[in-house]
A and B are shown apart, each in its own frame.
Chain A
């Protein structure tokens, strides 16, 4: 399965290679979705080699691999480094092992500590950690401990996600049937505000709703999404925004590989992004960044001013205390960060 899948990836690169055109430069690569660190590192370097053959990759490109604690070793990490990977994103989620097991994770915080040491030894200087807050059973103290421990290990970047209980999951059913008590919004927000404050105190910049970094370590790959830039997704279930169209690949690896090998139509849900879509996406994504949107930049891009298009909504949202202008930019207020959807719906 794995060699077949990798050769499908290579074939898909060919597809883009012939369409990307001259001057198409890749600024960042993200190897993620699932746990690519489970793969033999040989496959990773093969994929990276093929990437370099297919595309022009910027010399200072940010190249991240996603990994779960316990799946890394010094040897593996060295190989990653060799093939040009320069950033690690580790899915720790929580510090307390009892919470990790209730979240269905097989790793422990001990695994994380070991992997982190190995990563430093292999020479990684840009390491990000994913954390979750607001899951059933987690107390404010647990969350504080998690933040404290992780920051004490000196990582460069943190993503702190408020748990959303999605319909169709086992947890959703458990909560619905009263077997598990969901964290209420009040505690969830207390946890969020705690993270914002604590991480700021520790020298992190809160640069996006859920993301924090040491200065200069913002995720360039993710910044591209929030600045409404285009991207190519390779592999099963990935999404692309390429030459004005958004679409996704077949969800199941088997379907994906079959379509590639039979040269069938690969993409699903192809959507041409209109000027109107571009504008609303630019705002909806741009406001996720704490630095907000520059009205001048907006005007240059869309040949129309923000006040002309959304004057009334902006006034109303400013009035409600969800948006503000500061340093000449339109931003979410502190309350706006909690209620961002109320803001975004006005621009959809």
Chain B
């Protein structure tokens, strides 16, 4: 949802509004709140990638105004803020628009964006919980695709009113009729009067606006009840502290209110209330039941305004928080180290900054014999980790080395004491261990019927136990599995997608610990154990895993002047072995006048690569070798 908005439009609106200002009613805002709610539509757009989600969002923003007339009188348009925010990319997860229909009735549209990966399923579910409806955009050429279905299922779970929209109807090979039938057959929605549009070429987009008004229900919720506001997103702003995006479910939230986070118990004084335009925040006096907006309350950390928490008033609290809150916990842990040891302080600084904005990211200093000093970082999943890694590399210009991932294991020692470990290196000797337990999740996999077989096979490979199956309708199946978390964290999601042609969706939640026969697999290079490559694995899977890792390492460790023995061992016993043969040849045969510049560049690249390697004993290990142990299915 990267709506482009030029400020002229706001100014134009403002001028139009000023003209009418005299006629505007100045009735107390609260009295109006009930009728106001009837004019609100809160919705999201769900679509497969490239089916036109952001183009449609842009079009909706373009075709609607951004402020209602009466709001212009009430609201405090802080131009300083606009100035300040302009050019700064706000993680704009929600945009308010104003739509005036043919009858002259005005509606407020709140378009709420949603991320699209299982690592962020919880965030998606909170965003959906802030909506009453969803536009389901489908490409008239491509038809229903994987994500379309997975997202539509999610929206159905949240009881959203789904409005199908068929996009790109002007393409020569568009098959709107066929797509409509697909929608009816596969998802079970009535697509008879779905708008047939081209968002790109502005065809029939007004029909979508009408559908939003007519099909998506307006929010319910009593403005006189004690405040309950759902936080569906938040980010950290250097000037204002945490900006929390909220959906007011009941009651009202005014500037100056003393609020309480119902799940964390933290209390704050609201310094600012407002709503979002594509590039800016607009302040107002208050938000009322049914509305979507933001608050700032000098909150120093996103952990104190957690997604899913319920805001109430400290002086007049609601009896119960809204359902569905989960404290997001890091589930997967990696060691992250600077490739250049001298940049440890920069890495620390960067992680601290990212954490301000990311309640699910944790980190703690640790030391590895192979990698030096770095951090053990906790993430929601592999994708979350990849995003953070990419931001560290791109925004903070860091070169990183990461270790194999680990979950948190529970170990009971012979002396009865219990420890939790998130780094395999810390596993005590086997002789001291009474029992080991690993985290188990309840995983729900939703899939079209035809992939059930493939998914059963995959889940069995990953030690999943099928608990039950549900058949919500003829075409789809929900499979409930109990599965060890450490089987999911590697590449389960990718494998699931590839074995279901992308159609299956995954959701999982932690279900506790279960005793398990786990062993620590160590990797030794020329006899020296590389701690950063150790990991914990179920004993039934240790042999294939060991072989695979040895093979992967053989591919990624470059030849040296001497032979390198790669050994995978459990408790000192070697269970897999590969050899990197000694270097025999590294020479450029030709170097004449036309080659010099190019060959020099090649040598420079080779030198760069060498700099990025870690030395363990006498063996140079490239960054990719540490990464290669992460993805074993490919």
Write the residues of chain B forming the contact surface with A, with a CB cutoff of 8 angstroms: 559, 561, 581, 583-594, 596-597, 599-600, 603-604, 606-607, 610
Given contacts A241-B593, A248-B594, contact A338 B586 (CB under 8 A): yes
Complex CA distance for A233 and B603, rounded to whole angstroms: 24
A274 within 8 A of B: no
Q: Chain B residues with Cβ under 8 A from A348's Cβ? A: 600, 603-604, 607
- Count of chain A residues with Cβ under 8 Å from any Cβ of B? 40
B261 CB to closest chain A CB (Å) equals 56
Question: Which residue from chain A places its CB closest to the CB of B610 in the assembled complex?
Answer: A345
Complex CA distance for A164 and B589, rounded to whole angstroms: 8
The 3 closest A-B pairs by CB, nearest first: A185-B584, A239-B594, A340-B587
User: Is the pair B600, A225 in contact by a Cβ cutoff of 8 Å?
Assistant: no
A209 within 8 A of B: yes
A156 within 8 A of B: no
Interface pick from A15-23, A139-147, A280-288: A280-288
A238 within 8 A of B: yes
Q: Chain A residues with Cβ under 8 A from B610's Cβ? A: 345
Q: Chain A residues with Cβ under 8 A from B606's Cβ? A: 341, 345
User: Is the pair B589, A162 in contact by a Cβ cutoff of 8 Å?
Assistant: yes
Complex CA distance for A281 and B600, rounded to whole angstroms: 8
Complex CA distance for A284 and B584, rounded to whole angstroms: 20
Q: Chain A residues with Cβ under 8 A from B593's Cβ? A: 225, 231, 233, 239-241
Q: List 29 A-B contacts (CB under 8 A).
A: A161-B589, A161-B590, A163-B589, A164-B588, A185-B585, A186-B581, A188-B584, A209-B587, A209-B591, A222-B592, A225-B592, A225-B596, A231-B593, A238-B594, A239-B597, A246-B597, A271-B597, A288-B591, A339-B583, A339-B585, A339-B587, A340-B586, A340-B587, A341-B586, A341-B587, A341-B588, A345-B603, A345-B610, A348-B607
Given contacts A339-B585, A345-B603, A348-B607, contact A246 B594 (CB under 8 A): no
A207 within 8 A of B: no
Question: Which residue from chain A places its CB closest to the CB of B601 in the assembled complex?
Answer: A348
A72 CB to closest chain B CB (Å) equals 22
Complex CA distance for A337 and B591, rounded to whole angstroms: 14
A342 within 8 A of B: yes
Given pairs A209-B591, A239-B597, A241-B596, 5 additional interface contacts (CB within 8 A): A161-B590, A239-B596, A248-B594, A342-B561, A348-B604
Q: Which of B561, B590, B591, B607 contacts A320 (CB 8 A)?
A: B561
User: Is the pair A269, B590 in contact by a Cβ cutoff of 8 Å?
Assistant: no
User: Is the pair B589, A339 in contact by a Cβ cutoff of 8 Å?
Assistant: no
Q: Chain B residues with Cβ under 8 A from A161's Cβ? A: 589-590
User: Is the pair B584, A186 in contact by a Cβ cutoff of 8 Å?
Assistant: yes
B597 CB to closest chain A CB (Å) equals 6
Q: Chain B residues with Cβ under 8 A from A222's Cβ? A: 592
Q: Chain A residues with Cβ under 8 A from B596's Cβ? A: 225, 239, 241, 246, 281, 285
Q: Chain A residues with Cβ under 8 A from B587's Cβ? A: 162, 209, 337-341
B580 CB to closest chain A CB (Å) equals 12
A210 within 8 A of B: yes
Complex CA distance for A241 and B594, rounded to whole angstroms: 9
Complex CA distance for A340 and B586, rounded to whole angstroms: 6
